[in-house]
């Protein structure tokens, strides 16, 4: 097999595939490497194997002295959104930590908030592998994971064990979905079960109806189906507030592949049914920006740079209809500090990253959070 040629800080390393494999299998060694070098080694691996290695490493080393290897002081930029105090405006999107195993380890990187899931009522394996594909030329990923997760019971056990991130003021969002085996006409049952279970343990809850990787899920964004779902969720949300004597905001996560009429309909439904906020947006099924690239024709949701403008367009449209005060979390294609600022200027209140973290590493977190803080300071000057 060919050797791997890796470059870092002006030095070039030539490693055999056998040595690359040994480095990758030794998680502690990987944690010691600068992220650009670690990324090049990880990118030699299957994308899902690399993901699992990184998450297992974080789960194992979080809240130990080894956490200092990636801990970064959090940028102080407090903001209150949907009744929740966020220590800064940069968060991690759902999907990276589906089972809520690494909240403290991820939080130590400087995030103001971490969203974990999507969790479904019952454990499920997701779609067949391979199901994650890199498109480095466009700093993008395609995934068709299909809500693979350990189910609500295991998820909540992980969430309840997390402590240091919240103790430092970090905010934790819990993202819920439906099982693949649940008929779409019974989807509301799964969402209500998820809401009941996660409500006592969440700082906010996200209802994910926009993944392209669960059959027919996006049909829940249509008029009648959305009205029925949101009406049931609102009624349950009110009863949970009373039962637990605490208000936990309820967000809806929507797709970027919506036209103006659909966005307008969803925005009005959010207001009509008393939702607390909206997250825009999930991955796209469009391949216009990646045509001709290896893996571009793989089924699944495309994330990263190609979804940046699509999500921005959705944010602008939502803000126009929802008015100035309705909470919006912007996500999609943030790969630089300026990208994060642009989400706010399009109308978002908070920003999330995911694919950008894969390509840029933890440095993106502090850069983006600092840029958001500076942008707000500048805009508030007389």
Give the CA distances from residue 163 to residues 55, 106, 172, 199, in Å, rounded to whole numbers and listed in that order.
Answer: 17, 12, 11, 17
Domains of the chain by residue range? 72-379
pLDDT at 28: 62
* Among 212, 210, 323, CA closest to 277: 323
3-class state of residue 258 by DSSP? coil
Supply the DSSP string of 158-203, one letter for each residue. Answer: HHHH--HHHHTT-EEEEEE---TTS-GGGHHHHHHHHHHHHGGG-S
pLDDT at 21: 52
Integer Cα distance of 78 and 73 in angstroms: 14
Max CA distance (Å), the chain: 63
Integer Cα distance of 30 and 27 in angstroms: 5
Q: Where are the alpha helices (DSSP H) in the chain?
A: 17-25, 27-32, 35-42, 47-61, 103-107, 152-161, 164-167, 187-198, 223-244, 260-272, 308-322, 337-346, 355-360, 363-379
Burial of residue 14 (CB within 10 Å: 0-12, 13-18, 19+) is exposed
Asked if residues 90 and 372 have their Cβ atoms less than 8 Å apart, the reply is yes
| CA angle in degrees (0–180, nearest 5) for 86-82-146 | 85
Give kind and range of the element (H or E) at residue 53.
Answer: helix 47-61
The residue with tokens 């029925």 is 228
Integer Cα distance of 234 and 309 in angstroms: 31
Give the CA distances from residue 265 to residues 127, 270, 276, in Å, rounded to whole numbers and listed in that order.
Answer: 31, 9, 16
The C-alpha R_g of the chain, in whole angstroms, comes to 20
Integer Cα distance of 114 and 93 in angstroms: 7
Q: Of these residues, 16, 71, 211, 303, which one is catalytic?
A: 211
Give the CA distances from residue 272 to residues 263, 316, 349, in Å, rounded to whole numbers and listed in that order.
Answer: 14, 20, 21
Integer Cα distance of 149 and 117 in angstroms: 8
* Among 144, 130, 136, 127, CA closest to 294: 136
| CA angle in degrees (0–180, nearest 5) for 258-260-266 | 70
Angle at which helix 17-25 crosses helix 35-42, to 10 degrees, equals 120
pLDDT at 9: 45
Integer Cα distance of 299 and 128 in angstroms: 12
CATH of span 72-379? 3.20.20.70
Check if 16 is active-site.
no
Total residues belonging to the chain = 382
pLDDT along the chain (382 residues), means of 10: 44 49 58 83 92 94 94 97 98 98 98 98 98 98 98 98 98 98 96 98 97 89 91 98 98 95 95 97 96 96 97 97 97 98 97 97 97 79 38
């Amino acid at each position: 097999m060919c050797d791997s040629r890796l470059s870092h800080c002006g030095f070039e390393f030539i490693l055999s595939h056998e040595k690359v494999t040994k480095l990758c299998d030794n998680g502690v060694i990987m944690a010691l490497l600068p992220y650009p070098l670690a990324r090049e080694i990880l990118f030699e691996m299957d994308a899902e194997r690399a993901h699992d290695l990184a998450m297992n490493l974080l789960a194992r080393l979080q809240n130990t002295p080894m956490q200092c290897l990636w801990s970064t002081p959090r940028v102080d930029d407090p903001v209150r959104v949907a009744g929740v105090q966020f220590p800064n405006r940069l968060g991690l999107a759902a999907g990276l930590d589906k089972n809520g195993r690494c909240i403290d380890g991820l939080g130590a990187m400087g995030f103001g908030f971490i969203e974990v899931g999507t969790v479904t009522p019952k454990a499920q394996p997701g779609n067949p592998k391979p199901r994650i594909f890199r498109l480095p030329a466009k700093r993008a990923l395609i995934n068709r994971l299909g809500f693979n997760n350990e189910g609500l019971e295991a998820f909540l056990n992980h969430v309840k064990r997390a402590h240091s991130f919240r103790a430092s003021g970090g905010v934790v969002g819990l993202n819920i979905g439906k099982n693949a085996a649940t008929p779409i006409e019974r989807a509301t049952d799964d969402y209500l079960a998820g809401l009941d279970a996660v409500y006592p343990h969440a700082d906010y809850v996200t209802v994910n109806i926009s993944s392209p990787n669960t059959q027919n899920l996006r049909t829940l964004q249509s008029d009648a189906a959305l009205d029925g779902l949101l009406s049931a969720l609102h009624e349950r949300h009110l009863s949970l507030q009373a039962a637990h004597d605490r208000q936990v905001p309820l967000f809806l996560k929507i797709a970027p592949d919506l036209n103006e009429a659909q966005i307008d309909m969803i925005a009005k439904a959010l207001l009509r049914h008393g939702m607390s906020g909206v997250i825009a947006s999930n991955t796209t099924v469009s391949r216009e920006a990646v045509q001709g690239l290896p893996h571009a024709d793989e089924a699944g949701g495309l994330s990263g740079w190609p979804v940046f403008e699509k999500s921005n367009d959705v944010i602008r449209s939502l803000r126009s209809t929802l008015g100035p005060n309705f909470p919006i979390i912007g996500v999609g294609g943030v790969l630089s500090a300026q990208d994060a600022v642009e989400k706010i200027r399009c109308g978002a209140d908070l920003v999330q990253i995911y694919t950008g973290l894969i390509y840029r590493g933890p440095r993106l977190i502090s850069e983006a959070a600092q840029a958001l803080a500076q942008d707000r300071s500048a805009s508030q000057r007389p």
